[in-house]
Amino acid sequence: HGRVVQVHSERVINGFPEAFSKQARIDMKYDFDPRIRQSCLGDRMSSVSLKICKMIIIGDVSVGKTSLVNRFCKKAFDKDYKATIGVDFEVERFEILNTPYTLQMWDTAGQERFQCIAAAYYRGAHIVTIVFDVSDINSLASAPKWLEAAQKENKGVEDLLVFLVGTKKDLLTPQAYKEVEQEAIQVANKINAEYWAVSAKTNENVKEFFFRVAGLSFEGTVLRELEKRQFTPVSKIGDGVSIQLKKEKLSSPRRSKSQCCN
């Protein structure tokens, strides 16, 4: 119990991470839920349960999925394309409102021939990031198909957080980008996703995007935990009593419908 892993100062989140676009955002809030601030900063959340969310990163071949993850996790950009074979895995540890939080990132292959391997890793996702290339409009048109594939492996899960991320923003002029953005926002709204545009090459919006993912998924996790505790007779929020929640193994194949991330 307690904070055993030191989180890098670059991964500390105290303010509520903002959305990229007012026209295609998942929520309309500008701050963490007050109940979350109260319980996290009062240090009542951190010792109780492990907060881990699983994000899958999907999308057409060569749109820039691996580059996006590598820019954030390794601070690197490789201009040469190396196909992802099946799936790659990265972990980032955050500290959000004094509370340790882990984001697992499953970077999957876009190539058709690796699809059946990759799809096996969609299961148990809490966050779905669909990536497209802003300089290739066909890759945007594929977004609904990718979401369907993710939903197929997560049947009955109602609270998937979905992001639609346009990459390679550096390749377009501002005017050309604006035109793509209009279409992307329409697609995002249609599939209930939050829209972002980034460049792994220039690092534009990369950190902001991952912070937003971490912030929103963390909030969802903590709120569910608080709700669950309200139904736990031995302890109420604020009474200072520590309760034991069962930790699930990292490799747990699926969560139940309402127990995301715990």
Ligand X SMILES: Nc1nc2c(ncn2[C@@H]2O[C@H](COP(=O)(O)OP(=O)(O)OP(=O)(O)O)[C@@H](O)[C@H]2O)c(=O)[nH]1
Query: Which positions touch ligand X (CB under 6 A)?
Result: 61-67, 78-81, 83-84, 109-111, 167-168, 170-171, 199-201
111 or 235: whose CB is closer to ligand X? 111
102 or 199: whose CB is closer to ligand X? 199
45 or 56: whose CB is closer to ligand X? 56
What is the nearest approach in angstroms of ligand X to the Cβ of residue 88?
A: 8
What is the nearest approach in angstroms of ligand X to the Cβ of residue 87?
A: 9
What is the nearest approach in angstroms of ligand X to the Cβ of residue 211?
A: 18
Nearest residue to ligand X on Cβ basis: 110
170 or 183: whose CB is closer to ligand X? 170
Q: Give me the phi and psi of 85, to 5 degrees please.
A: -100, 105
Instruction: Kindly state the tokens that stand for 13.
Output: 């989140």
3-state secondary structure of 119: helix
- Beta strand residue intervals within 140-232, DSSP E: 161-167, 194-197
What is the nearest approach in angstroms of ligand X to the Cβ of residue 41?
A: 36
99 or 108: whose CB is closer to ligand X? 108
55 or 63: whose CB is closer to ligand X? 63
65 or 255: whose CB is closer to ligand X? 65
Instruction: Kindly state the tokens that stand for 43.
Output: 């240090």
Cα separation of 84 and 108, whole Å? 7
Q: Give me the phi and psi of 207, to 5 degrees please.
A: -65, -40
Residue type, 242: S
What is the nearest approach in angstroms of ligand X to the Cβ of residue 84?
A: 3
Q: Give me the phi and psi of 156, to 5 degrees please.
A: 85, -5
3-state secondary structure of 54: strand
Instruction: Kindly state the tokens that stand for 238.
Output: 């604020």
What is the nearest approach in angstroms of ligand X to the Cβ of residue 213?
A: 17
Using the 8-state DSSP alphabet, how is residue 2 labeled? Answer: -
> Which is nearest to 68 in space by CA: 185, 58, 135?
58
Q: How many residues does the chain have?
A: 262
3-state secondary structure of 13: strand
What is the nearest approach in angstroms of ligand X to the Cβ of residue 197?
A: 10
Burial 129-139 (b: 16+ CB within 10 A, else e): bbbbbbbbeeb
